Structure 1
Amino acid sequence: MSQYQAFNVELADNIAHVQINRPEKINSMNAAFWSEIIEIFQWIDDTDEARVVVLSGAGKHFSSGIDLMMLAGVANELGKDVGRNARLLRRKILQLQASFNAVDNCRKPVLAAIQGYCLGGAIDLIAACDMRYAAEDAQFSIKEIDIGMAADVGTLQRLPRIIGDGMLRELAYTGRTFGAEEARSIGLVNRVYSDAASLLDGVMGIAREIAAKSPIAVTGTKEMISYMRDHRIDDGLEYVATWNAAMLQSTDLRVAMAAHMSKQKPEFLD
């Protein structure tokens, strides 16, 4: 693993812990963040030993969102021609989207552990994760509306499938701050923990449970769930039949069945 400017990355017990590491800047997302997250999740995707990912933030807060100095830098690149400005901005936006697409497209489950601020671009990030968990002090806000723009890195596209259309509209139109219990009640987070320490302990426990399962089965399950976001039921049934025609021949199936029958814990290859 390489050294990163915006992240700490550790791999232990088949769990890749990816921690945003700019606590002095409230873990705001600078230029290094956006490029490094693609590299990190590509490495995770390519590393069989990594079976599940925990995404967290160092310090008191998960992330305050995009670094405003980075936005100012983009503004300084604009010139007088509207067409060329539009082309530049579109390219920049697509580049930012690719960073969180890397999280969404990762073959391994990604669990977000959220404490303190989770604002603006941080909502885009957690929307790309498989599951989200929060400490009681977590504060969420789709802040883009308050700086005069529509969120453009995934919140408006992914959250309707997570919290529903009407609730997303309320939060996106108002930009209001809401806490961990409301986040749980609307389905944004799965569970709330009393503090940051118990949050990370709890999420790591769930990650260990997932990591102990067949990686072939976990990958196939994630692939099928993701596929169904954009397809009909009959499409999904056809796809899983084709997928399992190959995957059911894995030795993992025999290992799992033998362990179940002998009441022992199975051990799967990476």
Structure 2
Amino acid sequence: MTQIYECFQITVADQIAHLQLSRPEKANSLNLSFWREFPQAIQQLNKTGQIRALIISGQGKVFCGGLDLDMFSNQIEFHAANAIDREGTMQSLGLMQETLTCLEKVRFPVIAAVHGSCVGAGFDLIAACDFCFVSNQAKFRIEETNIGMMADIGVLQRLPHQIPFNVARYLALTGDTLTAEDAYRLGLAVKVLETPEALLEHAFAVAKNIASKPPIAIQGIKRSLIYSRDHSVTQALDHTVMLQSAILNGQDILKMVQSRMSGQTAQFDDLKPIHFAEA
């Protein structure tokens, strides 16, 4: 099953979703339609309860070239002249931040598979993913610094939790480029693959591995990790007590043990679909 949007397309097979940025002729830049369609598409995947993992990649030679330049010239938010306009800018930026934050809130892991340049808003995008694989041609850059503005959609807040703080600060202040090798060395990338084909093959293999495990446990792990990032150890431990008490499933544990002993893949129930507030 494939769904086509203006800036991306989503294919779902075997409970794994693959979102491809699909404007290679525009360096997969993110225009206004992306910010409108992306959160709706991601939430739709989340609501089904059937998706076990999501892979995000880009078509062509560039993963993402950042914001479409037309947004800078056409959107009033970039040319605020008074307090009313600036309040509108505040609302628009908040919605753009929420567009990427939705990747942290969904019930399945999100894997970035980056080939080629990943700059500006593209860097914000992958910083909101659970982890990242790269090809040896991948490059990362906080491009906003180089065009005279501060990055404002999440990379400044998330990147210091993924690589050493002083390196994140250096990249943000200089707009310098981070190579695939350095991204791996610093911990931003989990693995470097030789080719785009090998990159996607590996991403799907890892997604399949995750999909073979109980989804209730996987969503608990993701939720706990993100909570721990934003809270103290004591608060995170208390949160874990409440979360584990709610989701621990002895039957899933037995299935996993039996699966390891027999060598056969265990089958687990999907999460419940979300129908709240639907007409």
Q: Same fold (TM over 0.5)?
A: yes
Change (3 A) 1:96 1:264: same
Give distance in 2, aligned partners of 1:62 and 1:230: 28
Q: Name 1:14's counterpart in structure 2.
A: 15
**Aligned amino acid, residue 95 of structure 1:** L
Q: Name 1:169's counterpart in structure 2.
A: 169
Q: How does 1:162-201 map to 2 (within 5 A)?
A: 162-201=162-201
Give distance in 1, aligned partners of 2:123 and 2:206: 22
Q: Is 1:42 aligned with 2:43? A: yes
SS in 2 for 1:53: strand
Q: Does the Cα contact within 8 Å between 1:62 and 1:116 map onto a contact in 2?
A: yes
Q: Name 2:247's counterpart in structure 1.
A: 247
Change (3 A) 1:193 1:79: closer
Deviation for aligned residue 1:2: 4.7
Deviation for aligned residue 1:124: 0.3
Structure 2 gap ranges (5+): 271-279
Give a deviation string over 1:9-56, Cα, whole Å, max 9, x none. 011111110111111101000111111110111012112221100000
Give distance in 2, aligned partners of 1:151 and 1:60: 24
Deviating more after overlay: 157-166 vs 229-238: 229-238
Change (3 A) 1:162 1:172: same
Q: Name 1:100's counterpart in structure 2.
A: 100
**Aligned amino acid, residue 75 of structure 2:** V
Deviation for aligned residue 1:235: 1.8
Number of positions where the alignment pairs a residue of Structure 1 with one of Structure 2? 269
Q: How does 1:1-270 map to 2 (within 5 A)?
A: 2-75=3-76, 78=79, 80=81, 82-249=82-249, 251-270=251-270
Deviation for aligned residue 1:264: 3.5
Change (3 A) 1:29 1:79: closer
Q: Does the Cα contact within 8 Å between 1:140 and 1:179 map onto a contact in 2?
A: yes
Deviation for aligned residue 1:258: 3.2
Give distance in 2, aligned partners of 1:265 and 1:86: 55
Structure 1 gap ranges (5+): none
SS in 2 for 1:266: coil
**Aligned amino acid, residue 218 of structure 1:** I
SS in 2 for 1:157: helix
Change (3 A) 1:77 1:192: closer
**Aligned amino acid, residue 74 of structure 2:** G
Q: Does the Cα contact within 8 Å between 2:112 and 2:126 map onto a contact in 1?
A: yes
SS in 2 for 1:35: helix
CA RMSD after TM alignment: 1.7
SS in 2 for 1:163: coil
Give a deviation string over 1:85-122, Cα, whole Å, max 9, x none. 21121112112111101112222100000011101111
Give distance in 2, aligned partners of 1:226 and 1:244: 15
